Amino acid sequence: MAQQRGFLFPRTATGRSSILPPPPWHYSGDLLTIEYRTDPDRVVELLPDPLEPAEDPGAVALVWADWQSCGDSYEELLDPVRAQYREVFFVIRGRYRGEHVSRCAYIWVDSDFSMARGHYQGYPKKLGSIHMTRPVAYGRAGPRLQPGGRFGATLAAADRRLVEATFTITGTSETGGFVNSHAMLHTRFMPAIEGADAPPSLDELVRVETTDVEAGPIHVGDAELRLFDSPVEEFQALQPREMLTATYRQVGATFAGGDTVETHHER
């Protein structure tokens, strides 16, 4: 019998068909981050044991990201359909053993490789349609990264508009937001093939961090945000009560792996 190779499915004799190469994975992209406060009870109910509420428990970050990514061979960059994608995600905070951590509560992406990569890392990714205004350095078909630059951002999924936002740059800042600034603590979960009543095949809490972080200037501004109802989503429970900060920033980072901090499954 032939040996099966490949970091993730489909695994084959050569491994060439794998949806992803092994880490490290490198990312470069533009991030629009809107932070606000919501009902803290709606945030706390999204924290699994053993996480506890954070200080300022109702704080939420909603992030649009336009990424280009690749593995260590960089070959995806010459086949951009394998490198480029966008995503939108809600980040909340909690405390684990007294340390503040960030956690992705909801996330949508527009490519299969990003979804597979996210499930490996513990991000609860779903498919969506994501758009955000791109800045320009020349011409009139986009805003400049300067005061007065105006941006729009949208998320749709399952034929429904879910979220829309606008952002106008007012200046720059030395500091950004605080919700998405900690190590990410995620849950990797897979139900048992025997069914929901059997112990899960995988249930573990993992810490996900990035290295080699580079970042450009922090452009701050004013944002407006609308969340719409959907019969198959629950993010709308995180309705804004108070807007905090909004920023636009170009960043780069590398994911090389994480750490399992707790294991909750027995087979």
Asked if 133 and 142 count as a contact pair (C-beta separation under 8 A), the reply is yes
Asked if 47 and 58 count as a contact pair (C-beta separation under 8 A), the reply is no
In this prediction, residue 110 carries a pLDDT of 98
Counting residues of the chain whose pLDDT is more than 70, the rounded percentage is: 99
Residues of the chain with pLDDT under 50: none
Domain segments of the chain: what residues?
Answer: 25-263
User: Amino acid letter at 204?
Assistant: E
CA-CA distance, 88 to 59, in Å (whole number)?
17
Rounded to 5 degrees, what angle do the CA atoms 92, 185, 93 make?
20
In this prediction, residue 124 carries a pLDDT of 98
Q: Beta 129-132 vs 242-255: how paired, if at all?
A: unpaired
Reply yes or no on domain 25-263 having CATH 3.30.300.130: no
CA-CA distance, 143 to 215, in Å (whole number)?
20
As to burial, measured by CB atoms within 10 angstroms (0-12 exposed, 13-18 middle, 19+ buried), residue 98 is: exposed
CA-CA distance, 133 to 141, in Å (whole number)?
10
Q: Which residues contact 191 (CB under 8 A, 6 or more apart)?
A: 198, 200, 201
In this prediction, residue 267 carries a pLDDT of 56
As to burial, measured by CB atoms within 10 angstroms (0-12 exposed, 13-18 middle, 19+ buried), residue 179 is: buried
